Amino acid sequence: MARPKIDDARDKMYRVRVNDEEEQMLQYVCDRKELKNKSDVFRAALKEAYGMLRMREFDMNENQDSYYEEYAEGISLERIVDCPYCSSKNKIDLVDECDESSYERQMGPETIYEFDTEDNYCKNCGRQFRVSGYISEYPMGAFNFEEINVNPIEGEEEYE
Ligand SMILES: [Zn+2]
């Protein structure tokens, strides 16, 4: 019996290095989305990025006036972070904590949001912690990459 013909076989191979944190994120996404193969996470992310960039490029070229208005507000800077003392999940909004800088690139500006704030208190244990790092938005309205560090504060005032 003839084997079914595959139009576009997956015959290109990539090896992707991940660290422990990324490995945990990968496992989390697989579990929640009930995916059997970790490579499906990368394929889905690729399709999402590809579709998003095509959409942005189209909008930018065809509706330039509304394009800049539509995404002027920027991406969400809300994140879930784990308390460095008790590991409870806390929702933070970095929107009022950021220094913004912008650079003009091929698809318009890239915006970097930098933050370093100690004004965070765990809603479970009440202890104060520091959140520092940066988030990159590129193109407008799209998440690009981020580094978010959550650390304990030495000598923070603990209240019971
Ligand atoms: Zn805590």
> Residue 121 in contact with residue 127, Cβ under 8 Å?
yes
Domain residue limits, the chain: 15-70, 74-160
> Residue 22 in contact with residue 45, Cβ under 8 Å?
no
Q: Smallest Cα–Cα separation from 96: which of 80, 66, 119?
A: 119
pLDDT at 115: 98
Report the separation in Å between the CA atom of 146 and the middle of ligand 1, taken as the mean of its atom positions.
23
Report the sign of the C-alpha dihedral through residues 43, 49, 55, 57, in that order. Answer: negative
pLDDT band at 157 (very low <50, low <70, confident <90, very high): low
Task: Note the residue count of the chain.
Answer: 160
Angle at 45 between CA 105 and CA 131, to 5 degrees: 70
Report the separation in Å between the CA atom of 38 and the middle of ligand 1, taken as the mean of its atom positions.
31
DSSP designation for 11: -
Amino acid symbol at 27: Q
Distance CA 26, CA 38 (A): 7
Six-digit token string for 65:
């006036």
Report the separation in Å between the CA atom of 150 and the middle of ligand 1, taken as the mean of its atom positions.
12
Report the separation in Å between the CA atom of 23 and the middle of ligand 1, taken as the mean of its atom positions.
24
pLDDT at 1: 62
Report the separation in Å between the CA atom of 87 and the middle of ligand 1, taken as the mean of its atom positions.
6
Looking at per-residue pLDDT, the higher value among 158 and 84 belongs to 84
What is the four-CA torsion angle of 75, 76, 77, 78, rounded to 10 degrees? Answer: -170
Report the separation in Å between the CA atom of 94 and the middle of ligand 1, taken as the mean of its atom positions.
18
- How far out from the chain centre does Cα 38 lie? 18
- Asked whether the predicted pLDDT for residue 158 surpasses 80, the reply is no
Report the separation in Å between the CA atom of 88 and the middle of ligand 1, taken as the mean of its atom positions.
5
Tokens 């220094």 label which residue?
99
| % of the chain residues with pLDDT over 70 | 95
Report the separation in Å between the CA atom of 151 and the middle of ligand 1, taken as the mean of its atom positions.
11
15: left (phi over 0), alpha (psi -120 to 50) or beta: beta
Report the separation in Å between the CA atom of 127 and the middle of ligand 1, taken as the mean of its atom positions.
6
Report the separation in Å between the CA atom of 58 and the middle of ligand 1, taken as the mean of its atom positions.
45
Look up the pTM and report it.
0.85
Report the separation in Å between the CA atom of 39 and the middle of ligand 1, taken as the mean of its atom positions.
34
pLDDT digits (tens, 9 = 90+) for 32-72: 999 999 999 999 999 999 999 998 889 888 888 788 888 88
Element (H, E) at 108: strand 108-121
